[in-house]
Structure formats: structure tokens, C-alpha cells
């Protein structure tokens, strides 16, 4: 950040000129993410023409990635305002357990199994928000701690086993498909549209970006910093919990082992997303493209028969690259 | 206050304490409609604190805020905005990664848009109107704020604060806390113009500045604070600069005596140095010599210092200290060679806001107190205390967090940091920005003291009067090159320098 202010002493008027060496039009790096997606799809389609470019594979990828995409959105919202929410993956786990637990333990109706977990997620978000704003705990620490508590609760309730009894087929239908389109992808799409609109088109989105940029300035200009920050955590918790419900519907069971492995891909997607469409700025559409890039890449490699351990390895590398490109040394935006 | 009936905004009996320190003690202030009310006082006298009380950022321990004679019990920043109070704080509350348009619209809460959609076109128009209303046409609403120069940013902050003048909402009061501290004279004129316009529309203006002569020309009424107490509140007519300075300080201000040191050997020399905005430039500075650099914004003056200090990569040429070549583009190498640098943007480039005053001062070199395994904090504290005395940094609290120091005291502390290194070469970029009259004299003294010890000093300032006062020799920069050298600044006219630099 500090570098952003070094050079402008004498840059009168220079600001309107594009920076030398930066591509324009179709060569602008903001489009590179899209090109990567196309390149990956074309490459694997050539390598595996029978299995890769098929409708089956597309719907499989869409329904597999819907939950991950929602989780990335959950990470995205507080990150815009400058806070990390590490609890989301464990909130997802807890929510899965709650959802299936409602059937297994209480034979509850389906709507209860949807609403209760989301409320639990919202509550954890509220606790996160209050811890960060009112109590003043660093968001990394606060959400790491609440996330651990959420996981603890999930393990305590299940005693480490998998919940899967009494799950009505109506609930599993929520994770099925409608006329060939996987429902989880539909939920994710709706969520994406809403968040995209809110972050790019509504005043509240501008306030959040401003808040993430300079919290003290936001306070001085009278933006309700505390309320907005708590709001982002509540939204984040709710989205993560909803993703958990969807995951439960897809699997038809509640497994406390599922959540943790989803956190890193969400990070990778959000940070890689910060290099797409708007350079150096976390944004919804860029994040979606990033999710697809990662999915297309991993899916393709799996079809080529690379070993299972390549996927986490690859996601780790992508995360490093993405962060290097958004905020690190190779950032085109911050180091003016 | 006697005139409370007519005043749009008044503060009465305000007391504000910070841990272990009374920042304001029973201060009252009343601003009439259409009045330019100057608030002056030395660094740390409580001016910004008073402004923040008025803005609802700090709630005072005692006293009340009255608007149109009505007491406002719980003032918050949002409430203050609603009531028509507008602020440009000392650290203008801007968002560097957002566009100019968003920076301005955030101030108006996107009034041109409905709740669910930002109307880009109307917000852009509003931003453009707000900017052109204060005579700024060279800033596009769509660029990132971070890409603008310091003075352009100030103008954006001004535009944001006064945008409602066209918008129909009633503004009662505009408060500007040192808006011109980093602006060269002709840019500052624009701000003065805005102040006059605003006051002419019947809005009260509170104006804070350490630049006393334009301040007296602008102000109708002057309120003076000293150590958090009100010492005078009177009409500005019949008040001159010296009398005002005396009110602020409580004693007569000594102007720094002119330097008597005899220049020695050449310590700093640049040969064909170029990079960024700077054309190939050669110069030599002798030990004990103070060389001023005068130039307008964009003349390459700050670039020159950055290239020497290694904070910007060079495109060619070389820098020598006492005949030894300094590797370019490496701040650490420059420091090792004996070059100390006080950058222009204190907040971004010099301060560690969350560390203590002590750590800020000694951070550059700990070797004096460093044993093999630990830092001798007692020795460190003693050394820092001596420096705080020498440079008169207030409060003398080595453990205070740096960001809680007033602006001028932060600046003095940064200079103390450099002085402590006993550098061979000292580079100063705007060393007295935001510094009060007495501190300014103290900083000048300190610079001369360092020169007397044999340091070669290169100082950049937008205040050409200061450059002439301080220097043994002045280089006038224009469009990236040295235009002329003024060999005898003591007899040169400030107007002449303006002419050479290209303003007048
Ligand atoms: N948040 C804070 N916490 C602790 N002390 C503070 C805080 N804000 C200000 N102070 C102290 O209150 C005193 C008054 O500071 P203030 O910023 O109001 O001075 P000022 O008159 O604006 O000075 P300057 O001209 O240098 O800007 C200073 O001694 C400062 O250290
Ligand atoms: Mg101040």
C-alpha cells in the first residue's frame, strides 16, 4: 500500500494517461483470466475429445463447484471490507450436520432443516462481527477461533460419525437437478447475481470497498463502519451455512470431514479473482471465473489420470501466484 | 459566549482528555454565519482535537456543542453531516484505491442514486460539477485517487466537502484543518478562493493553518489555543503576524539566525543523475553547506532527492558521497553511505504509526544500544529523551504511539530520527510542512546545527521564502533541470525566484 503514494508528487495530469507497457483493449491483463479459461477448455478438449467437452462433464463440474463457489462468495464479502473470515469452512461443516441432524434427531420438516442451519451461520457471523468490531480482535484470530468452536460443536454432536438417517428424498431433490440443470449451480448463480449487483452497483458496495481501503477515513466520513463490518460477517456466515445445507442435500448426509478442505480453494478463487476483470480488486465476476478456471484445470488433469494429490498442490501454487499478482511484487495496480 | 444567539455553531466549555493528558481544557468557540474563523495554535495545542469534537469523532468529557443555539447531545460523524457540518480533516479522509468520483459521492451518500443502484452517470456529473465549482478542471472523475498528486487530492477533499453547495442541502459550517500544508503557494490560492466563496454564501468557516500571513488576510475572527487552553478570541483587524505568533507561543519568536559555518570539502556530488522526471543533473554540495532547491510541482525537485536517497531507481548517472560511489536505487546502501532522507509524505513513507515515538526515532539505527542479544532500552530511552528535548517534540512521552502525536510533532520527530544518524548528507523534502512558527524556527536551527557539524544539506521547499532564508545557495529547478543557481539568497527577492521557477 505504501508504494501507492510514492510517485505522485509530480504526476500532475499523468493520471489520465495509461501506464506505459500495460496492454490496452483485448491485451489488457484484466481479460487474461478469461483467455486462460478458454485455453484450458480447448487444451483438454483436444487431449480428451470424448470425455472432456461433454454435457455430462459440464454439469458435473457445475454441480461440484457450486458449493465451492458459494464458499468463495462467503469469503469475498468481508474481504472487501478488509477482514478475513476463516470460520466459513467450519461453519459449512456445522451447518451440514445441523441440517441432517434435524432429520436424524427430530424428524423435522424440510424447511426447518434449511432455515435453522442458516440462522446458526448468521449467529456465528454475528459473533465474528462483534468480536472484530466491538471487542477489537484481529479478524484472522477471531474467525480462526470461532471456526474451531464451530467444528468442535459439529464433532461433539456427531461424535465423529456421519449423520445420514431419516433424510427425506424431498431434501435430496434440493441438491438434484431440474431439466438437466443442477440446482446447486442455480442457487450459486442467484447468489452471484445478487452479490455482483450489491458490490458493483449499490452504494453499500462502494462503502464496503472504501472501508477496506481506509477504515479510518470511512469512520471520519460518517460511514457506519461498525454496522457494515458486522453485516459483512453475518452475510458471510449465512452464505457459508447455506452452502453447507446445499452440500448436505447433494451428499444426503452430514460429514464433519468435508468442510476444512474447501477453505483453501475458496481463498485461491477469491485472490485469483482479484486479477480478473478488475486488477488488484476483489470482485464477484472475477471470482466466478477463477472458480471455473480452477475447476476446468483440475477436472481436466483428473481425466488425464494425474494422481489425486496434484489437485491440492495445484491450488496452493495458484493461490501463491494469484496473491503475487494482486498484492505482491508483480501487481500492476498497487505499485504505481 | 456572549454572541451565542447569532452563531450557527458553537462549542462551550469543552474538555477532552486522552490517557494522562488534557488535550482541551474549557475551550469555547462561536462561529457566525458567513464568518471566516481562524483557529491557530502551536503544534499539539489541540486544534485538530477541537475539530474532531465538532465532527462527532471524539466525545468530550465536559462541555457541549450547540447548533443554531440548540444543544446537540450525542454528536456522531453521520449526525454532524446531517446537520450541515462539513470537514476536511488534517489527514483528509480519502480512499486511495477508489475513483475520484466515488471519493466524492461517498461524501454525499450517493444522493444522486437510488438505494439499489448507483447511477454512474449522475454521480460522475455531480463529481465533475463539484470539482469545477472550485475551479479544478484537470482532474477526471474516473481516475483512481491514488494516482493524483498531493495537491490534487486536497482539491478532491475540498470538492467533496463543498459539493452540497449546489445540491440544495443546507450547509452551516465548513471546517478545514490545514488544507494547504502540502500545497505550493499558487495552489493554496485556489483553496483561499473557495473559502471566500463559501463564506460569501453565508456559511461559517473554521480555518486552521500555520501559514499566518494568508490566514490573517482571510480571517474575520481569530481564536488562539495554547496547550489546550483558550488564550484569545478576537477580531482579526489590527492583528499582525508577529503579534499573533506571540499570542500562540506566549513569548517572542526568534527567527533563526543565519548560518555561520564555513563550507568545507565537497561531500555530495551527483554526475549526470537522471531518472523519472529528472533530466541529467550534476551538482555538488560541500560539508556544512545548506543548498536549497526551489521549483514548482513537477519540476523534479522531489525526484532529485529520491534518486539520491535511493528510493527511486535511476536511469543513469551517479551519486558520490565523499568521493565514494553510492549504489543506485537502494535505500539501505544510501544510508550506509551516510545519506539521511526526510521524505515528503510523512504518513506513507516515514512514520510507523502504531509503534511508539521511541521506536520511530531509533528504528533507523539501533547499533548504539544493541548488545549481542538484547537492546538496552534504558539507554535507548535516555537517548530519545535527549532528542525530544533538543527538537522540542511534545509530549515528551517516549512510549506514546506515534499516530497520536499531532502532525507538527510527528514531523519534528522524523527530523530528530535523521539527526540522530549524524549523517554526512541530509536530504529534506518539505521539512516544515504543518509545523508551527516556533517549531519552524526550531527545525531551521536544527538544520543549521547539523550543517555546522559538517553535514551537507539539500532542502526542498514549496515555500520559497523559507528556501531563501535557510540556504547558502539556491538551485532553481524547472522542467526537470537546474535552470539557475542563486549564489546569494540572502539578498534575493522571493518574487524573483517565482519568476525563475515559472510561476509569475
Ligand atoms: N487519539 C489520541 N490519543 C492520545 N492523545 C492524543 C490523541 N489525539 C491527540 N492527542 C494529543 O492531544 C494533543 C493535541 O493534539 P492535536 O492533534 O489536537 O494538536 P494540533 O493543535 O492539531 O497540532 P498540529 O498543529 O501539529 O496539527 C497532542 O498532544 C496529541 O498528542
Ligand atoms: Mg492538527
Give B193-204 pLDDT, tens digit per residue: 889 988 998 899
> Is the same domain home to B145 and B275?
no
Minimum CA distance residue for ligand 1 atom 12: B23
> Is the same domain home to B212 and B140?
no
Domain chopping of chain A, boundaries: 26-335
Mean pLDDT for B171-183 is 87
Question: Cβ contact (<8 Å) for A12 and B140?
Answer: no
> Is the same domain home to B242 and B351?
no
Question: Cβ contact (<8 Å) for A220 and B311?
Answer: no
Domain finish residue from B225, B251, B277: B251
> Is the same domain home to B278 and B378?
yes
Give B139-158 pLDDT, tens digit per residue: 899 999 988 877 788 889 98
> What residues does B271 pair with on adjacent strands?
B318
A156: number of CA atoms within 13 Å, CB side? 6
Q: Tell me how far apart the alpha carbons of residues B391 and B409 are, in angstroms, rounded to a whole number.
A: 9
- Give, as one character, the DSSP assignment of residue B11: E
CATH number, domain containing residue B17: 3.40.50.300
> Is the same domain home to B149 and B164?
yes
Confirm if B269 and B283 have CB atoms less than 8 A apart. yes
Q: Could you write out the three-class secondary structure of chain A?
A: CHHHHCCHHHCCCHHHCCCCCCCCHHHCHHHHHHHHHHHHHHHHHHHCCCCCCCHHHHHHHHHHHHHHHHHHHHHHHHHHCCCCCCCHHHHHHHHHHHHHHHHHHHCCCHHHHHHHHHHHHHHHHHHHHHHHHHHCCCHHHHHHHHHHHHHHHHHHHHCCCCECCCCCHHHHHCCCEECCEEHHHHHHHHHHHHHHHHHHHCHHHHHHHHHHHCHHHHHHCCCCHHHHHHHHHHHHHHHHHHHHHHHHHHHCCECCCCCHHHHHHHHHHHHHHCCCCCCCCCCHHHHHHHHHHHHHHHHHHHHCCCCCCHHHHHHHHHHHHHHHHHCCCCCCCCCC
Which of B14, B16, B21 maximizes ligand 1 atoms within 8 Å of its Cβ, making it the mutation to test the pocket?
B21
Q: Compute φ and ψ for B255, nearest 5 degrees.
A: -80, 145
- Is A213 touching B (CB cutoff 8 A)? yes
Picking from B190-199, B338-347, B363-372, B377-386, which range would have the lowest pLDDT averaged per residue?
A: B363-372
Picking from A81-95, B279-293, B487-501, which range would have the lowest pLDDT averaged per residue?
A: B487-501
Contacting residues of B for A206, CB less than 8 Å apart:
98, 102, 105-106, 110, 118
Q: How confident is the model at residue A128 (pLDDT cuts 50, 70, 90)?
A: very high
User: In sequence order, which residues have a C-beta less than 8 Å from that of residue B23 and are 6 or more positions away?
Assistant: B16, B17, B46, B49, B228
Confirm if A40 and B330 have CB atoms less than 8 A apart. no
Give A147-163 pLDDT, tens digit per residue: 999 999 999 999 888 88
Domain assignment present for B62: yes
Give B451-479 pLDDT, tens digit per residue: 888 899 999 988 888 888 889 999 998 88
> Is the same domain home to B393 and B454?
yes
How do strand B473-478 and strand B290-295 relate by DSSP bridges? Answer: parallel
- Is B354 touching A (CB cutoff 8 A)? no
At A8 the pLDDT is: 36
Confirm if A142 and A133 have CB atoms less than 8 A apart. no
Q: Give the number of domains in chain B.
A: 3
Determine if ligand 1 sits within 6 Å of the CB of residue B223.
no
At A21 the pLDDT is: 41
Which of B356, B400, B406, B436 maximizes ligand 1 atoms within 8 Å of its Cβ, making it the mutation to test the pocket?
B406
Q: What is the percent of chain B where pLDDT is above 90?
A: 30
C-alpha cell at A319: 493461490
C-alpha cell at B101: 468520483
Q: Tell me how far apart the alpha carbons of residues B467 and B501 are, in angstroms, rounded to a whole number.
A: 13
Q: Order across the sheet with B324-326: list the strands.
A: B278-286, B266-275, B316-321, B324-326
Mean pLDDT for B395-407 is 87
Give B404-450 pLDDT, tens digit per residue: 888 888 888 988 888 888 899 999 998 988 788 888 888 888 888 88
Minimum CA distance residue for ligand 1 atom 28: B44
At B260 the pLDDT is: 57
> Is the same domain home to B354 and B463?
yes
Instruction: Output B255 or B114, whichever has higher pLDDT.
Output: B114
At B253 the pLDDT is: 57
Domain finish residue from B251, B285, B303: B251
Contacting residues of A for B57, CB less than 8 Å apart:
219-220
pTM of the model: 0.76
> Is the same domain home to B456 and B434?
yes
Picking from A332-336, B30-34, B215-219, B233-237, which range would have the lowest pLDDT averaged per residue?
A: A332-336
User: Looking at the domain that runs over A26-335, which CATH code has it been given?
Assistant: 1.10.3470
Q: How confident is the model at residue B391 (pLDDT cuts 50, 70, 90)?
A: confident
> Is the same domain home to B113 and B59?
no
Across the interface, which of B76, B113, B302 has its CB nearest the CB of A203? B113
> Is the same domain home to B402 and B283?
yes
Domain assignment present for B261: no
Instruction: Output B312 or A75, whichever has higher pLDDT.
Output: A75
Domain housing B412: 266-501
Q: Tell me how far apart the alpha carbons of residues A87 and A105 are, in angstroms, rounded to a whole number.
A: 25
Q: Tell me how far apart the alpha carbons of residues B236 and A254 are, in angstroms, rounded to a whole number.
A: 76
State the burial class of residue A20 (Cβ atoms within 10 Å of its Cβ: 0-12, 13-18, 19+).
exposed
At A330 the pLDDT is: 59
Mean pLDDT for A173-200 is 91
Q: Tell me how far apart the alpha carbons of residues A109 and A115 are, in angstroms, rounded to a whole number.
A: 10
Q: Which residue of A has its CA nearest to B92?
A: A217
At A9 the pLDDT is: 36
Question: Cβ contact (<8 Å) for A206 and B110?
Answer: yes
Centroid of ligand 2 to alpha carbon of B203 (angstroms): 22
A-contacting residues of B 82-111, CB under 8 Å?
87, 89, 91-98, 102, 105-107, 109-110
> Is the same domain home to B297 and B237?
no
Contacting residues of A for B102, CB less than 8 Å apart:
206, 209-210
Q: Compute φ and ψ for B197, nearest 5 degrees.
A: -60, -50
- Is A209 touching B (CB cutoff 8 A)? yes
Query: What does each C-alpha distance from B161 to B83, B190, B231, B381 come to in angstroms?
Result: 13, 15, 29, 42
Query: What does each C-alpha distance from B116 to B107, B172, B455 come to in angstroms?
Result: 18, 30, 61
C-alpha cell at B370: 544493541
Mean pLDDT for B68-75 is 88
Across the interface, which of B77, B115, B306 has its CB nearest the CB of A222? B77
Across the interface, which of B77, B118, B149 has its CB nearest the CB of A12? B149
**Is the pLDDT reported for residue B1 higher than 60?**
no
Confirm if B430 and B462 have CB atoms less than 8 A apart. yes
Domain finish residue from B191, B222, B251: B251
A 10 A CB-CB count for A251 gives: 18
At B116 the pLDDT is: 78
Amino acid at each position: 500500500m505504501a508504494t501507492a503514494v510514492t510517485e505522485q508528487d509530480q504526476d500532475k495530469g499523468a493520471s489520465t494517461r495509461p501506464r506505459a507497457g500495460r496492454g490496452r483493449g483485448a491485451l489488457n491483463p484484466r481479460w487474461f483470466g478469461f483467455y486462460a479459461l478458454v485455453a484450458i477448455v480447448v487444451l483438454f478438449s483436444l487431449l480428451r475429445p470424448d470425455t472432456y467437452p461433454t454435457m455430462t462433464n459440464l454439469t458435473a463440474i457445475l454441480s461440484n463447484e457450486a458449493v465451492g463457489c458459494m464458499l468463495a462468495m462467503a469469503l469475498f464479502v468481508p474481504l472487501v471490507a478488509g477482514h478475513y473470515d476463516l470460520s466459513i469452512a467450519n461453519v459449512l461443516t456445522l451447518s451440514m450436520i445441523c441440517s441432517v441432524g434435524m432429520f436424524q434427531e427430530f424428524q423435522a420438516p424440510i424447511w426447518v432443516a434449511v432455515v435453522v442451519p442458516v440462522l446458526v451461520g448468521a449467529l456465528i457471523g454475528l459473533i465474528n462481527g462483534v468480536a472484530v468490531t466491538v471487542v477489537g480482535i484481529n479478524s484472522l484470530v477471531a474467525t480462526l477461533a470461532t471456526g474451531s468452536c464451530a467444528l468442535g460443536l459439529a464433532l461433539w454432536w456427531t461424535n465423529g460419525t456421519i449423520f445420514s438417517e431419516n433424510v427425506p428424498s424431498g431434501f435430496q431433490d434440493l441438491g438434484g437437478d431440474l431439466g438437466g440443470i443442477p440446482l446447486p449451480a442455480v442457487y450459486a448463480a442467484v447468489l452471484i447475481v445478487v452479490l455482483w449487483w450489491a458490490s458493483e452497483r449499490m452504494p453499500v458496495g462502494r462503502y464496503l470497498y472504501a472501508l477496506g481501503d481506509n477504515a479510518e477515513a470511512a469512520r471520519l466520513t460518517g460511514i457506519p463502519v461498525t454496522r457494515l463490518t458486522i453485516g459483512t460477517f453475518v452475510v458471510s456466515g449465512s452464505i457459508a451455512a447455506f452452502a453447507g445445507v446445499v452440500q448436505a442435500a447433494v451428499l444426503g448426509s452430514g460429514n464433519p470431514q468435508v468442510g476444512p478442505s474447501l477453505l483453501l480453494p475458496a481463498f485461491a478463487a477469491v485472490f485469483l479473482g482479484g486479477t480478473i476483470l478488475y486488477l488488484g480488486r476483489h470482485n464477484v465476476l472475477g471470482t466466478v471465473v477463477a472458480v471455473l478456471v480452477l475447476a476446468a484445470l483440475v477436472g481436466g488433469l483428473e481425466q488425464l489420470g494425474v494422481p489425486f494429490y496434484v489437485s491440492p498442490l495445484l491450488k496452493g501454487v495458484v493461490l501463491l501466484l494469484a496473491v503475487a499478482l494482486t498484492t505482491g511484487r508483480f501487481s500492476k495496480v498497487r505499485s504505481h | 459566549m456572549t454572541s451565542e444567539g447569532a452563531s450557527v455553531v458553537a462549542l462551550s466549555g469543552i474538555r477532552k482528555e486522552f490517557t494522562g493528558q488534557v488535550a482541551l481544557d474549557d475551550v469555547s468557540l462561536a462561529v457566525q454565519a458567513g464568518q471566516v474563523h481562524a483557529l491557530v495554535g502551536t503544534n499539539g495545542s489541540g486544534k485538530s482535537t477541537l475539530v474532531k469534537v465538532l465532527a462527532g469523532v471524539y466525545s468530550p468529557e465536559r462541555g457541549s456543542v450547540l447548533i443554531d443555539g440548540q444543544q446537540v447531545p450525542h454528536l456522531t460523524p453521520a449526525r454532524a453531516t446531517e446537520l450541515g457540518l462539513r470537514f476536511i480533516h488534517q489527514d483528509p479522509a480519502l480512499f486511495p484505491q477508489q475513483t475520484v468520483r466515488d471519493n466524492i459521492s461517498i461524501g454525499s451518500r450517493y444522493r444522486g442514486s437510488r438505494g439499489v443502484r448507483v447511477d454512474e452517470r449522475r454521480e460522475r456529473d455531480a463529481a465533475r460539477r463539484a470539482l469545477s465549482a472550485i475551479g479544478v478542471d484537470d482532474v477526471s472523475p474516473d481516475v483512481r485517487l491514488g494516482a493524483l498528486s498531493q495537491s490534487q487530492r486536497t482539491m478532491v477533499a475540498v470538492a467533496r466537502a463543498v459539493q452540497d453547495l449546489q445540491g440544495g442541502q443546507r450547509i452551516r459550517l465548513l471546517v478545514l484543518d490545514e488544507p494547504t500544508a502540502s500545497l505550493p503557494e499558487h495552489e493554496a490560492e485556489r483553496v483561499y478562493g473557495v473559502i471566500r466563496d463559501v463564506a460569501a454564501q453565508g456559511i461559517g468557516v473554521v480555518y486552521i493553518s500555520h501559514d499566518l500571513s494568508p490566514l490573517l488576510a482571510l480571517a474575520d475572527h481569530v481564536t488562539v489555543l495554547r496547550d489546550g487552553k483558550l488564550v484569545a478570541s478576537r477580531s482579526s483587524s489590527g492583528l499582525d503576524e508577529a503579534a499573533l505568533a506571540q499570542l500562540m507561543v506566549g513569548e517572542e519568536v526568534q527567527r533563526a539566525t543565519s548560518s555561520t559555518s564555513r563550507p568545507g570539502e565537497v561531500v555530495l556530488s551527483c554526475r549526470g543523475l537522471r531518472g523519472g522526471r529528472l533530466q541529467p543533473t550534476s551538482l555538488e554540495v560541500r560539508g556544512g553547506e545548506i543548498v536549497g532547491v526551489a521549483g514548482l510541482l513537477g519540476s523534479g525537485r522531489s525526484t532529485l532527492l529520491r534518486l539520491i536517497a535511493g528510493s527511486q531507481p535511476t536511469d543513469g548517472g551517479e551519486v558520490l558521497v565523499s568521493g565514494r560511489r553510492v549504489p543506485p536505487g537502494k535505500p539501505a546502501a544510501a544510508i550506509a553511505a551516510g545519506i539521511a532522507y526526510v521524505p515528503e509524505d510523512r504518513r506513507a513513507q516515514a512514520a510507523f504509526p502504531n509503534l511508539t515515538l521511541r521506536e520511530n526515532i531509533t528504528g533507523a539505527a539501533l547499533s548504539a544500544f544493541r548488545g549481542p542479544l538484547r537492546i538496552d532500552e534504558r539507554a535507548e530511552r535516555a537517548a530519545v529523551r535527549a532528542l525530544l528535548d533538543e527538537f522540542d517534540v511534545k509530549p515528551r512521552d517516549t512510549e506514546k504511539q506515534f499516530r497520536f502525536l499531532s502532525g507538527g510533532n510527528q514531523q519534528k520527530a522524523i527530523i530528530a530520527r535523521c539527526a540522530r544518524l549524524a549523517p554526512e548528507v541530509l536530504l529534506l523534502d518539505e521539512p516544515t510542512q504543518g509545523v508551527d512558527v516556533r517549531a519552524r524556527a526550531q527545525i531551521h536551527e536544527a538544520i543549521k546545527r547539523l550543517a555546522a557539524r559538517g553535514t551537507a544539506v539539500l532542502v526542498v521547499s514549496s515555500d520559497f521564502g523559507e528556501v531563501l532564508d535557510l540556504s547558502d545557495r539556491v538551485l532553481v529547478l524547472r522542467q526537470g533541470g537546474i535552470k539557475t543557481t542563486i549564489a546569494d539568497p540572502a539578498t534575493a527577492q522571493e518574487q524573483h525566484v517565482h519568476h525563475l521557477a515559472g510561476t509569475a
